[in-house]
Amino acid sequence: MTHQDHMRDAETIELAALSALHGAADGPLRDRLGLRLVEVADGVASVAGALPASAITINRMMGLGRARPPQVGDVRAAVDLYRGAGVRRFFLQPDPATSDDRVAPLCRAAGLERARAWQKFERGRDAPVPDVECEFTIRKAAPDDGDAFARIVCDAFDLGDAALPWIARLPAAEGWHAYLAWAGDRPAGAGAVFVSDGAAFTDFGATAPDYRGRGAQTANLAHRVRAALEMGCRRIYTCTGVAVEGDPQHSYANIRKCGFAEAHVRAAWQPVQGDGKGASS
């Protein structure tokens, strides 16, 4: 595969994972949270109008510029969509193959500013997976573990309590495989991996505050990588915020420990107001 092929594969599996997460919500839950997936030009916007402004891992649009050069009307349509849904903060994440020189003036004209870009990572089957020694036991989350999984994830990703019943459905969602790190009988960490057509995307890596800094996240990520490889995945992708001097990304180091290499950077734009947090593995 060429670099462009890998980049397209990485974006495709991530969008499929986001779509499957939306698919886990039934009609009443979608209505309550204002959940929608909307095609805007050649991009796809994930909307959750009832979640707090901090829920930018959900309220974001991917893929703009994937099929054709973006137009001023495309960006304005995306901004109007989120404003109409009452979303005060969202990320517009153009397709990484799109020229920044083309996108930047359109975003600024629509009242957007740069947020922290997202670093994408990838690994294949040959890179070693570390044996992580830690005090935790990693187990696949059953549907009955959904509440414990959701509590850790929603707190860590600032999704708010309204998202709890939705994220609790992820362990049973199509294509998703969720895992919990246990300290005895207490859930200490969470993580998930989405698998489709021989590719995988890891997401929602998080640790409960009382257990941070003790290896749960690295152990959980290594466990998910092994699980994806056992399911026959040829490539595994993940992402986090780009490294910024003075604001270290702990997930960045954990990702590298698990055999991932930097792949590409995807820009992010947001309404002029925020600091632009990144995603996590």
pLDDT tens digits for the chain (281 residues)? Answer: 788 888 999 999 999 999 999 999 999 999 999 999 999 999 999 999 999 999 999 999 999 999 999 999 999 999 999 999 999 999 999 999 999 999 999 999 999 999 999 999 999 999 999 999 899 999 999 999 999 999 999 999 999 999 999 999 999 999 999 999 999 999 999 999 999 999 999 999 999 999 998 999 999 999 999 999 999 999 999 999 998 877 766 788 899 999 999 999 999 999 997 443 444 55
Q: What integer pLDDT is reported at residue 255 of this predicted model?
A: 95
Q: State the residue for tokens 């992010």.
A: 268
Q: Give the domains, in start order, of the chain with CATH numbers.
A: 3-118+266-271 (no CATH), 137-265 (3.40.630.30)
What count of other Cβ atoms lies within 10 Å of the Cβ of residue 17?
Answer: 24
Query: Rounded to the nearest 10 degrees, what angle do helices 250-257 and 216-230 cross at?
Result: 40
Q: What integer pLDDT is reported at residue 245 of this predicted model?
A: 78
Q: What integer pLDDT is reported at residue 278 of this predicted model?
A: 41
Residues forming beta bridges with residue 121, ordered by sequence position: 238, 262
What is the pTM (predicted TM-score) of this model?
0.94
| 114's tokens | 């740069």
Query: Half-sphere exposure of residue 180, counting CA atoms within 13 Å on the CB side?
Result: 24
Q: What integer pLDDT is reported at residue 246 of this predicted model?
A: 74
Q: Helix count (H) and strand count (E) of the chain?
A: 8, 13
Q: What integer pLDDT is reported at residue 280 of this predicted model?
A: 53
